[in-house]
């Protein structure tokens, strides 16, 4: 939800407040703002799926990946720093200190998953399972 106090004071106009409230009506019903911090591009190659997950502001050791029940879950968490300056208090704090997102990955080889983190982008390579080919039809000779 937007900070209406800021929008209202910016132009000191009641119509800004109404515009902001109206814009909120067009958000998806179950919109999760945390997903904005983990925007993902998913590519498919012949042998694998490649996820590029934007995770700016996190260090490599603050990110974890796990696979359970056919879902890959990416988590990132920062420890919140104590504020030494007590001369102010936050009215609103929008920089999240943790986020997570799960992806369904049913047809991949879980043992061969690789991940790399570089310049705020986590790249996860998910190799596809080899297709099991059925045995060729057995021909039965006729006597």
Domains of the chain are 1-31 (no CATH), 36-80+92-130 (2.60.40.790)
- Report pLDDT for 10: 46
pLDDT at 4 over 60: no
114-139 pLDDT tens trace: 999 999 999 999 999 877 667 777 77
Highest average pLDDT, of 12-16, 57-61, 72-76, 78-82, comes from 72-76
Task: Report the SS3 class of residue 111.
Answer: helix
Q: For residue 108, give the nearest of 53, 47, 51, 64 by alpha carbon.
A: 47
CB 76 within 8 A of CB 63: yes
Q: Average pLDDT in the 13-42 region?
A: 61
- Give pLDDT, residue 13: 57
Give the span between the Cα atoms of 98 and 63, in whole angstroms.
Answer: 10
C-alpha–C-alpha distance, residues 18 and 92, integer Å: 20
- The predicted pLDDT at position 94 comes to 67
The answer to whether residue 76 scores a pLDDT higher than 70 is yes
* Per-residue pLDDT at 137: 75
The whole model's pTM is what? Answer: 0.61
Instruction: Name the most confidently modeled range: 9-23, 35-49, 56-70, 74-88.
Output: 56-70
């Amino acid at each position: 939800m937007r900070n209406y106090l800021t929008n209202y004071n910016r132009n000191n106009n009641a119509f800004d407040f109404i515009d902001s409230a109206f814009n909120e009506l067009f958000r998806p019903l179950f919109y999760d703002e945390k997903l904005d911090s983990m925007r993902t591009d998913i590519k498919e190659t012949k042998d694998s799926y490649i996820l590029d997950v934007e995770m700016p502001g996190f260090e490599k050791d603050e990110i974890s990946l796990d696979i359970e029940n056919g879902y890959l879950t990416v988590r990132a968490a920062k420890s919140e720093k104590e504020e030494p300056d007590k001369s102010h208090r936050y009215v609103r704090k929008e920089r999240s200190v943790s986020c997570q997102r799960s992806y369904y990955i049913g047809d991949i080889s879980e043992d061969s998953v690789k991940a790399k983190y570089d310049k705020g982008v986590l790249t996860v390579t998910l190799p596809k399972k080899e297709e099991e080919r059925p045995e060729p039809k057995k021909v039965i000779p006729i006597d």
